[in-house]
Amino acid sequence: MRKIRDVLRYRSTTDLSLEAIARALKISKGVVAKYLRLSEAASMGWPLPEDYDDLALERLLYRQAKARSSSFIEPDYARVHQELKKKGVTLALLREEYRQATRERGDQYTAFCTRYRAWAGKLKRSMRQIHRAGENLFADYAGPTVPIIDGQTGEIRPSSVFVAVLGAPNYTEIGHKRI
């Protein structure tokens, strides 16, 4: 804890940069920044009250950090996973809804995506099926319609795209069906 006192003293009484304070105290620049961030969160200035021993200082700094982090609200990843199956739903949209629901106490976008992907990575997904070549054909709708323009009349008609796959590897066929 002696280093925290020294960091606060150097920062308040000198014009040294974080890097210079780190060199003077033989600690990393990140540790200096962390101590300053903790002291700012605890609204602690210099000089410290005389009744603050190292233990009291540590409790004050880390209690504030713990209280701040305990307000974090974990998203319901199962619901996020189900919502992503709906048309037009993205992780950015779900994260924004989550942020509004938690009143700004949730993850940032990158952390939200990272945590969701870690959660989704633990899901067991397997459906092993054996298909003989040419025996089965699997077709699926490939998304929203695409416009097809008639070259003679200029009429624009929507067209759905379907993908068909034979039930054996390396046999694929892509076709278009007009609606």
Structure confidence at residue 103 as a pLDDT band (50, 70, 90): confident
- Token pair belonging to 54: 């190292």
Closest CA to 105 of 73, 59, 65: 73
For residue 25, give both structure tokens.
């105290």
Q: Specify the length of the chain in residues.
A: 179
The whole model's pTM is what?
0.39
Q: Which helix (H) or strand (E) holds 99?
A: helix 91-101
Q: What is the mean pLDDT of residues 110-134?
A: 82
